[in-house]
Structure 1
Amino acid sequence: GEGGESIYGKPFKNENHTRLKFRYRGIVATANTGHNDNGSQFFITLNETKWLNGLHTIFGKVTGKTRYNLVDIANYETDDNDRPLYPPKILKTEVLLNPFDDIKPRVKEQKKGPKKKKKKYKKNTSLLSFDDQEEGDGEEAVFVPKKKDKSAHTLLADDTTLSTAP
């Protein structure tokens, strides 16, 4: 591929370390087109590749049983440009050793404990009076009990104004 833009927005310098070498299968390093020209592409070695030492920035390695999957990837069918016809996908990565212990991860704001129950208020069913009464005369509101609702059938059956003829 053509690669992509680096996290810095421009190519960055090689970060070579004398102790980090391409000694075995599974080394992950940046791909570049020349000295100090690293972008967002990377590659994984399939064997020891000493001729790459000092040319690319090593930043990881494939560990565990996944290393053996690299042998299978090496045998994938390729096109005329040596690109796999069905490229493998990286589904998960895991940082095993964090070199940045001094950096603390952001803490997500936790939701407060269990939700508070809303208070249920009793509906005030007292009758409001809009008389010309003066305020503070000491009279209390009159409570009118609610009558049971009747259906239209019940009301119409009792209506004497309706005709009985069909």
Structure 2
Amino acid sequence: MSDDNGTPDTRAGSAGPRPEPLRFFGTTWVHHDHGYAARRIGVAVGSLLAAAAACFVLAVAYQGLQIADSGPFVTGLVVVMFAVCSVLAFRHTWESFSRRPDPDRQASLRGLLAIGFVGSLLAYFVRSLTEAPGETLHREEYRRAVEQHERRTTRRSGNPTKKRRRR
């Protein structure tokens, strides 16, 4: 292993597909080793604390709107905007754990995801209670890559140069 995340060495001699590292987990998700459980607990606690801090910042911003006396329409509009964007960001983040998001769609949703960052943090928290976020997707892709590699490298029985030719 090349580092404490469990990322394999890339030097010559190692054949076959390599698992893709996950953020905060490296490749520890493959065998659930090198502190995988502690990392999951840390990610869950960290994402929940970050979501709580974000809600505190949003509460301060809401109080700022109240002090500015911007009116109930603007205040309601801001609250609804953050709520809807958070729900959409949660859903988008949750779906990205089970399938690869389209890069073009991801780029077009960048603003929405930035506004609804609380939803993304909560999705990360909820997923980290059961597995490393994105582990299922990466495990399936890695399993398929290993199967394809094994099929390509399986040796045929016998020597093909001694094969009888049909006449």
Q: TM over 0.5, yes or no?
A: no
Q: Which structure: greater helix fraction?
A: 2
Q: Which structure: greater strand fraction?
A: 1
* More RCO (CA 8 Å, sep 6+): 2
- The interval holding the TM-score normalised by the smaller chain is under 0.3
TM-score of the pair, normalised by structure 1: 0.22
